[in-house]
Amino acid sequence: MEKEKKRIATLERQITRIKQEINSIGDLRRGSLSEQYNICGTPGCKCKATPPIKHGPYYQLSFTKNGRSGTKFVNRKNVRIVRSQVKNYTRLRKLVEKWLELGSELSDLRLSDKVD
């Protein structure tokens, strides 16, 4: 079937592109980065003023590993790099999702091809 062959070729091209994109992804880090502001225990501190000027921002990475969640403080000077690692991870997951989606369709097409 000509139409199926065309679709197979399109899917193969798209999957090749995804693989190339995955290949170009840099360092990965699981989790999400959040910004936090804290109140301390020092009496009369600016963090207890009205309005309060809290301490921070502090950066925290929340993640799940082997089904367990964890957090980790991130030094301010490392925030940029950690943020980009987290972004890479999100991107990888999206690309893998897309690959699975296209791959499933491709697999189905290959099966029906053989039946014909």
Q: Which residues lie near Zn ion (CB under 5 A)?
A: 40, 45, 47
Judged by CB, which is closer to Zn ion: 25, or 40? Answer: 40
Judged by CB, which is closer to Zn ion: 49, or 96? Answer: 49
Judged by CB, which is closer to Zn ion: 40, or 100? Answer: 40
Phi first, then psi, for residue 24 (nearest 5°) are: -95, -5
- In angstroms, the CA 95 to CA 87 distance is 12
In the complex, minimum distance from the CB of residue 47 to Zn ion, in angstroms, rounded to a whole number: 3
In the complex, minimum distance from the CB of residue 79 to Zn ion, in angstroms, rounded to a whole number: 22
In the complex, minimum distance from the CB of residue 45 to Zn ion, in angstroms, rounded to a whole number: 3
Contact 107, 40 (CB under 8 A): no
In the complex, minimum distance from the CB of residue 37 to Zn ion, in angstroms, rounded to a whole number: 10
Judged by CB, which is closer to Zn ion: 39, or 100? Answer: 39
